[in-house]
Amino acid sequence: MTRFTLTKDPFTFILVLICFGSLSLKAQNDSISNTQSLPIKTEIGFPVKGVQGDTLFYVYKRLGASTASERAVHIGNKIDRIFKKENFQADSLVISEEENSIDLIYGDYIVTTVSQTDAAFQNMEMSDLALEIKEKISISILEAKEDQKFSKILTNILLVFLVLGIASLLYWLLGRSYGKILKYLDTNKNKLLKNLAYKEYTFLTAEQEMGILLFILRVLRIFLFVVLFYFTISIAFSIFPYTRGWADRLFLLVWSPFKSIFLSVWNYLPNLFTIVVILIVMNYFIRLVKYIFSEIDAEKLHISGFHSDWAMPTYSIVRFLLYAFMFVLIFPYLPGSDSNIFRGVSVFLGLLFSLGSSSAIANMVAGLVITYMRPFKIGDRIKIGDITGNVMEKTLLVTRIKTAKNEEITIPNSAVLNGNTTNFSTLARKEGLIIHTTVTIGYDVPWKDMHQVLIDAALRTDKVLKEPKPFVLQTGLEDFYVSYQINAYTKESNQLLQIYSELHQHIQDCCFEKGIEILSPHYRAARDGNMTTIPSAYLPKDYQVPNFDVKIDKKDKE
């Protein structure tokens, strides 16, 4: 006994299409063959059904008090009655000509009447139309009688079993083929499958490729089983006369969606071509706009009042507007764009976007304003609030800063716009940035000496410009000391911490070399018998700690 199972693979499916598809189409053609000779009518025709449910001909006109639909039903009922009579003879169905009509008579029944209106509507003579109808009715009844014979029924049953047997065999072959394919892939997967990679990036590993291949094979196997099952049922139904209608409906059930999709795609082709043309034209226009702004960004094209660093941000805005305009042009040509559902979904999405992105939009607007304010550029050393660092990235939403400690800080553009921004790099490139630091020295040190010491310390510092020359400001005369501020120029605004550190080192060295002690802010020197605060490396080799100077008043002693 053959086991009927839905397992395994796809190879003999072409045989199914060739063998069974032709039979199913033949059954479909048989059911509509009687209507192919009818011309196209401007009125709706009502079909006259034969004994086996097939359409014999159509009735278009009323006759007397009977409408066209009533005439079709009455004719079908009379054909059933004639069929139920034993020993039907085609010669017994005779044509009787009247003055303005022709009757088709079988025994005591007037099966149908052909009027001049019917003949004129069919563009035929009454006699020819009556003869054609007679032949169709006779053939239908004789075929139905033939199909009811025991030998015919037995033959049809055998054909059904044959179809089921062939289908079972095909299922078994598909299952065996699928198993062999899986075994072959498992055995030769190392030869057949390699990692899909480009340079150092691997798109798909061999294991992932195997998983995808197995998934495709499983989907293909299920698809072939479903198709084979569909054709098997369709062919089995088409064998028996009373189930041919089921086969036709089953065929149309699958064919109609594909036909609708094909017709929809065909009818949509003009709109699709229009969309393609719009896309191509807009794409080349955007390329032209990008080329113009790229020339401005590279400072090859100069426009009065338009800075080069505005070029690419402005291009981004223009490109967005062009894409929005392109979408407006394309929208009417999209399928379903005129439906209320499509419009409702569009409004709903727009509402969600507007309600959920208020802060994002505020940052975007701030980003645009910052772009055209030009407070800083990529790489500038800036200070926003209490954050100081180099600008790494500037987008429509945020500004990213890298601090001197390699910390990446993200600041929303709205916060940047609402606060103060200090740019250390803008004027440093041309005029130089003035760095400054303050030293407090006692009144016992001449101010001229202190000025020279601080200027010498600044000139020793790397990255400090020799011109313009450093200068000193006395910023305060306090109770115990004088405040000296050294000012020097540098163009290296990104290395301020290193420059300040080196400047402080040189200030200490120069002070020690000149014998100046840094005793600020509230330190008092008691020289008698005390070591100086200058490091010993800067002192002369013969330096000695001073003795205590004690004075005795002789008068008080006496």
Q: Is pLDDT above 60 for 6?
A: no
Separation CA 294–CA 311 (nearest Å): 7
Please state, in angstroms and as integers, the Cα–Cα distance from residue 19 to each residue in 36, 176, 248, following that order: 25, 21, 17
Q: Is pLDDT above 70 for 166?
A: yes
Mean of pLDDT values over 161-175: 90
Separation CA 388–CA 403 (nearest Å): 6
Separation CA 12–CA 471 (nearest Å): 96
Burial (0-12, 13-18, 19+ Cβ within 10 Å), 458: buried
Among the residue ranges 218-232, 242-256, 481-495, the one predicted with the least confidence is 242-256
Q: Is pLDDT above 60 for 5?
A: no
Q: Is pLDDT above 80 for 433?
A: yes
pLDDT of amino acid 558: 53
Q: Is pLDDT above 70 for 30?
A: no
DSSP 8-state symbol, 91:
G
Please give the full DSSP string across 342-392, using - where no structure is assigned: HHHHHHHHHHHHHHHTHHHHHHHHHHHHHHHH----TT-EEEETTEEEEEE
Mean of pLDDT values over 149-160: 81
pLDDT of amino acid 551: 67
Q: Which residues contact 170 (CB under 8 A, 6 or more apart)?
A: 12, 13, 15, 16, 228
Of residues 275 and 40, which shows the higher confidence score?
A: 275
Reference 255, options 39, 70, 450, 28; nearest CA is: 28
Separation CA 408–CA 405 (nearest Å): 9
Token pair of 208 as six digits: 């992932």
Q: Which residues contact 396 (CB under 8 A, 6 or more apart)?
A: 316, 363, 364, 367, 368, 413
Token pair of 324 as six digits: 């929005």
Alpha-carbon radius of gyration of the chain: 51
- What percent of the chain clears pLDDT 70, i.e. is strictly above it? 83
96, 105 in Cβ contact below 8 A?
Answer: yes
Tell me the pLDDT band of 353, cut-offs 50, 70 and 90. low
Among the residue ranges 42-51, 389-398, 462-471, the one predicted with the least confidence is 42-51
Q: Is pLDDT above 90 for 460?
A: yes
Tokens 């040190």 belong to which residue? 445
Q: Which domains does the chain have, with CATH numbers?
A: 1-36+165-239 (no CATH), 41-148 (no CATH), 246-356 (no CATH), 373-423 (2.30.30.60), 433-525 (3.30.70.100)
Token pair of 246 as six digits: 């089921």
6, 171 in Cβ contact below 8 A?
Answer: yes
Mean of pLDDT values over 266-276: 90
pTM here?
0.47
Total residue count of the chain as it appears in this document: 558
pLDDT of amino acid 65: 82
DSSP 8-state symbol, 123:
T
Separation CA 500–CA 458 (nearest Å): 10
Reference 431, options 490, 381, 473, 376; nearest CA is: 490
Separation CA 144–CA 141 (nearest Å): 5
- What percent of the chain clears pLDDT 90, i.e. is strictly above it? 21
User: Rounded mean pLDDT of the chain?
Assistant: 80
In this structure, are strands 101-106 and 93-97 parallel, antiparallel, or unpaired?
Answer: antiparallel
Q: Is pLDDT above 50 for 184?
A: yes
Reference 129, options 143, 114, 142, 140; nearest CA is: 114
pLDDT of amino acid 400: 92
For residue 410, list its beta bridge partners: 400
Burial (0-12, 13-18, 19+ Cβ within 10 Å), 243: middle
Q: Is pLDDT above 80 for 352?
A: no
Among the residue ranges 183-187, 212-216, 358-362, 468-472, the one predicted with the least confidence is 358-362
48, 76 in Cβ contact below 8 A?
Answer: yes
Range from 230-239, 400-409, 548-557 that averages highest in pLDDT: 400-409
Of residues 255 and 413, which shows the higher confidence score?
A: 413
Separation CA 139–CA 135 (nearest Å): 6
CA atoms within 13 Å, Cβ hemisphere of 354: 6
171, 13 in Cβ contact below 8 A?
Answer: no
Burial (0-12, 13-18, 19+ Cβ within 10 Å), 533: exposed
532, 517 in Cβ contact below 8 A?
Answer: yes
Three-state SS letters, 22-83: HHHHHHHHHHHHHHCCCCCCCCCCEEEECCCCCEEEEECCCECCECHHHHHHHHHHHHHHHH
Q: Is pLDDT above 90 for 503?
A: yes
174, 224 in Cβ contact below 8 A?
Answer: yes
pLDDT of amino acid 521: 52
Of residues 35 and 528, which shows the higher confidence score?
A: 528
DSSP 8-state symbol, 461:
S
pLDDT of amino acid 28: 43
237, 244 in Cβ contact below 8 A?
Answer: yes
Among the residue ranges 34-38, 250-254, 446-450, the one predicted with the least confidence is 34-38
Tell me the pLDDT band of 1, cut-offs 50, 70 and 90. very low
Residue 172 φ/ψ, nearest 5 degrees: -65, -45
Reference 403, options 503, 500, 491, 497; nearest CA is: 497
Q: Which residues contact 53 (CB under 8 A, 6 or more apart)?
A: 242, 244, 245
Please state, in angstroms and as integers, the Cα–Cα distance from residue 550 to each residue in 20, 433, 525, 554, following that order: 132, 53, 17, 13
Of residues 352 and 78, which shows the higher confidence score?
A: 78
